[in-house]
Structure 1
């Protein structure tokens, strides 16, 4: 596929029952693609194969953690993630390889995301551009402790060593735990706006209320796993103020017993950076 560093980066797309979205997005990719199918019941795998992608068929829905299987299957130094309704702008991955090669402490590059035909800037991209964590000399952009999973390039070995995306969190806010684990291992994460991702979100089959509950659940579980108990208490208290928050709190409480031994708070410097973001 011309124009990209084919031997250095592979695109991984995790999906389930999203054949129409894949028909529109896969034609835009300019690097090898691995589609990880989360036990679809439609013709998603066939659509991906017809577009020339390598397809990994999982026996059950692992949601966001399906990306781990894709990363394990690659033979490239870097992995770019995309959703079934997003794609990397031409030349972005070639540039990402150059940046990562030049910044060996950087494990993750977060791109600027443009939404829809109107190319509206994604609010999360705006937040990352203003993140108050500074720009260390050995990073290629502002330091971040969060990202959108559909718009990052990762150093494959660092990603896998950190455990990738959690099977427990499933989806919805799954990025924070990985960001904290990479930072705790000494890696840098940076926002690099010259890298661009196009995202055309599909609303098919989406339940906004359920997604909000899942995000609150995952925020609470991530706090329990990696943050001091006072931070966990603050997040739990804030969840009580809405119906979705209370539902998310109940969902988190149901999962906590299984995670009792998985709690591993991050180092003080990483927590200080995370607390600074909370104040911002």
Structure 2
């Protein structure tokens, strides 16, 4: 079996069937990654036994306390044996057979980038862009990103939240940019993301998204950018209220003060120049 020096890292919690689907997709790639490491979050008594049916060797990490996807990724990045990390969710999987060969080509040709976002396609969507282009980016998607281990080990890492929507990737991107690293977006290879329709509308997810909308600027934005915090919260509230999610808005707002207080010691704002660069890159990508 031909392998390439890549560590695939996947956090999971009580979704063994979809995880096995992802592992099957990884196993069908040529070449294969040198290792696959899976982090099983706390109170999951299903996944380890199910992985006896995995089509390739899997190294397992466990925790007795809930870390969420971000905390799981921290442990996975620390434990990985190789410098090139392919970060997937348990429901996101490679589409291209030469997926890992393409990744090695990108990382070898562009050592200036610390992260490469891979395009993800929801469920039955068909990839429409098969070109091999690369552009500088302001962020990435945790379900489909290539990371350099030496870069992510140079920053503080993800905040361990049970629901990290609106926080996880942007927080890490800001940390990497602030440390002087550059991020990229490539048009190939591709990832299939089997996220459930309406998943983001789940009350716990919607509530957490509102809270995290306040937490991110509280932890990372320098003055005067932190003054944007109320505006961002209002925009997220307006989005949720548009869909009639009054209960989650009320519970989310009530949770914000306590959450900010709980994480106050982790506040480490980036430089104003980093925020300027981040905003400029975001605007250029969204044009």
Q: Give the shorter-chain TM-score range.
A: 0.7 to 0.9
Distance verdict in 2 for CA 1:206–1:99, change over 3 Å: closer
Distance verdict in 2 for CA 1:248–1:145, change over 3 Å: farther
- 1:56 paired with 2:61, answer yes
1:19 equivalent in structure 2? 16
Structure 1 position 246, deviation (Å): 4.4
Indicate conservation of the 8 Å contact 2:118/2:191, yes or no: yes
Indicate conservation of the 8 Å contact 2:11/2:38, yes or no: yes
Distance verdict in 2 for CA 1:108–1:245, change over 3 Å: farther
Distance verdict in 2 for CA 1:91–1:40, change over 3 Å: farther
Structure 1 position 257, deviation (Å): 1.3
- Give the counterpart of 2:170 among 170, 176, 201: 176
Render the CA deviation track for 1:77-109: whole Å, top value 9, x for unaligned: 111111111112322222222222222221100
- 1:101 paired with 2:94, answer no
1:146-185 matches, cutoff 5 A: 146-168=139-161, 170-173=163-166, 174-185=168-179
Secondary structure of the 1:61 match is coil
Render the CA deviation track for 1:223-267: whole Å, top value 9, x for unaligned: 111112212132133345433444333322211113333322222
Greater mean alpha carbon deviation, residues 158-167 or residues 95-104 = 95-104
- 1:219 paired with 2:213, answer yes
2:29 equivalent in structure 1? none
Distance verdict in 2 for CA 1:239–1:207, change over 3 Å: closer
Distance verdict in 2 for CA 1:164–1:91, change over 3 Å: farther
Q: Which runs of 5+ in 2 are unaligned?
A: 27-31
Greater mean alpha carbon deviation, residues 222-231 or residues 161-170 = 161-170
Secondary structure of the 1:198 match is strand
Indicate conservation of the 8 Å contact 1:239/1:249, yes or no: no
Distance in 1 between the 2:208 and 2:38 partners? 24
1:200-239 matches, cutoff 5 A: 200-202=194-196, 208-227=202-221, 228-239=225-236
Distance in 1 between the 2:134 and 2:127 partners? 21
Structure 1 position 167, deviation (Å): 1.4
Name the TM-score, length of structure 2 as normaliser. Answer: 0.81
Structure 1 position 274, deviation (Å): 3.5
- 1:189 paired with 2:186, answer no
Distance in 2 between the 1:169 and 1:271 partners? 26
Indicate conservation of the 8 Å contact 2:163/2:205, yes or no: no
Distance verdict in 2 for CA 1:203–1:23, change over 3 Å: farther
Greater mean alpha carbon deviation, residues 229-238 or residues 65-74 = 229-238
Secondary structure of the 1:33 match is strand
Structure 1 position 73, deviation (Å): 1.2
Distance verdict in 2 for CA 1:18–1:95, change over 3 Å: same
Q: Which runs of 5+ in 1 are unaligned?
A: 126-139
2:262 equivalent in structure 1? 258
Render the CA deviation track for 1:46-88: whole Å, top value 9, x for unaligned: 2224313111121122111101111211110111111111112
Distance in 1 between the 2:199 and 2:106 partners? 37
Indicate conservation of the 8 Å contact 2:151/2:176, yes or no: yes
Secondary structure of the 1:17 match is coil
Greater mean alpha carbon deviation, residues 246-255 or residues 16-25 = 246-255
Distance verdict in 2 for CA 1:43–1:261, change over 3 Å: closer
Structure 1 position 22, deviation (Å): 1.6
Indicate conservation of the 8 Å contact 1:146/1:176, yes or no: yes
